Amino acid sequence: MPSHGPRSVHVVDSHTEGEPTRVVIDGWPQPRGATMAERVADLRDGSDHLRRAVVCEPRGHDAIVGALLTPPVNEGSLAGAVFFNNGTYLGMCGHGLIGVIRTLQHLGRLSPGSALIDTPAGTVRTELSDDGTVTIENVASFVHAQDVRVDVAGYEPVVGDVAYGGNWFFITHDAQVPVEMSRVAELGRFTSAIQQAIDAHGITGAQGSAIDHIEISAAPSRADADCRNYVLCSGGEYDRSPCGTGTSAKMATLHARDQLAFGEPWRQEGIVGGLFTGWLTPGLHGELIPHIRGSAFVTGEATLLFDERDPFRFGIPLPDGDRARV
Ligand code: PYC
C-alpha cells in the first residue's frame, strides 16, 4: 500500500438518468502526459490507489464512475476528463460526461453553450442547454462484426454485434433473461457469463481491443422509448443509465442494418427507467457521429479524507483483482 498521497480530495457527486458520477475537482495530483492516453497510463502506474479510494468501498460503491478533471490536451478544449470505475479506466463515458458538464455548471465554471472536453477516446463536443439538459457529440461509432455467435456456459448460444461507441460493446437482442429491474441479479449472471465466453474465445474489437461492455437490447417499458437495455460495465456492475457509449454503439448497429437513418431520433431507455435521446450525423469522412442527450442532477459535494492509520483508506479492491482493459 502506498505510504504517500493526498490527505483529502474534493469531489462533486451527480447522477445521470440514475447512474452516479463522482467528479474529482481538487486534491488529486495531476497525471503527467501530453495526451489523455499518456495520462491514463501515468494514473495506472502511479495513482491507481486513488482511483480505488475515490470510487470503491468503503467510501464509494461499485456503480460509481469517477471523473478526474485535467487541463486540456488540445487547443480550444475546456478541460480533459479521465473516467474510471471500481475496476479500471474507461475510454469515454457518456453519462459521466453529462455529469461533468452539470458539475462544472454547478461550480460556476460553465454556462449554457458548447464546450470541448478531451477524453482518452478523443475530443467530445458538449452542449449545455438553458433547461439543464446536456447533449454530447461523441467520438465516431462503428460496427466491427455482425451476428457473432458465442457459446456461453450454462445458457443457449448468444448471437450479437461487436460495436464501438467510445468503449467496446457486445450487443445482443437475446433476452434469455428478461430485461426487467426485478431480474437484475440474473441479468448480471447472464451477461457475466457472456463476458467470460467472449474473453475465453478471444473475441475482440478492432486491433485486438478488449470488449468490456455487454449490452442486451429489449422492448421498452416507456411509451416514449424505442428500446430498453441492460449494460454490464467493465468493473462488473450494471449501468443504471441507458449508457451513452452503449447507445452510440447501438445506433451504429442499427444504421448498419438500415434501421436508423441520419438525424432520426433513437430513444434509449435504461434498466431503471431513465432515457437518453440519440441520433447520428455523418462526419466529414463518412464516419457515424453519435449525439446523446440526457439530464444529470448534482447530488452532493464532499471532502474525502485519507487517514494514514486507516488500512482501507485506498479502498477495497475487487475480489478477483482489478481489471485493466483500456
Ligand atoms: O454512459 O457511456 C456511458 C457509460 C459507460 C459506463 C457507464 N456508463
Report how far ligand 1's centroid is from the alpha carbon of 310 (Å).
31
- At 18-40, the pLDDT tens digits run 999 999 999 999 999 999 999 99
Report how far ligand 1's centroid is from the alpha carbon of 83 (Å).
9
Which residue type is seen at 75?
Answer: E
String of DSSP letters for 241-293: S--HHHHHHHHHHHHHTTSS-TT--EEEEPTTS-EEEEEEEE-TTS-EEEEEE
pLDDT of residue 6: 87
- From 231, 234, 272, 326, mutation site for ligand 1 pocket: most ligand atoms within 8 A of C-beta: 231
Predicted TM-score (pTM) of the model is: 0.96
- At 106-165, the pLDDT tens digits run 999 999 999 999 999 999 999 999 999 999 999 999 999 999 999 999 999 999 999 999
Quick check: is 227 catalytic?
Answer: no
Q: Is 245 in the pocket of ligand 1 (CB under 6 A)?
A: yes
- 83: nearest Cα among 129, 20, 127: 20
- At 273-302, the pLDDT tens digits run 999 999 999 999 999 999 999 999 999 999
Quick check: is 93 catalytic?
Answer: yes
Which residue type is seen at 110?
Answer: L
Residue 324 has pLDDT above 80, yes or no: no
Report how far ligand 1's centroid is from the alpha carbon of 92 (Å).
7
Residue 325 has pLDDT above 60, yes or no: no
Of the candidate ranges 11-25, 72-86, 89-103, 310-324, the one whose mean pLDDT is the lowest: 310-324
Alpha-carbon gap, residue 37 to 289, rounded angstroms: 21
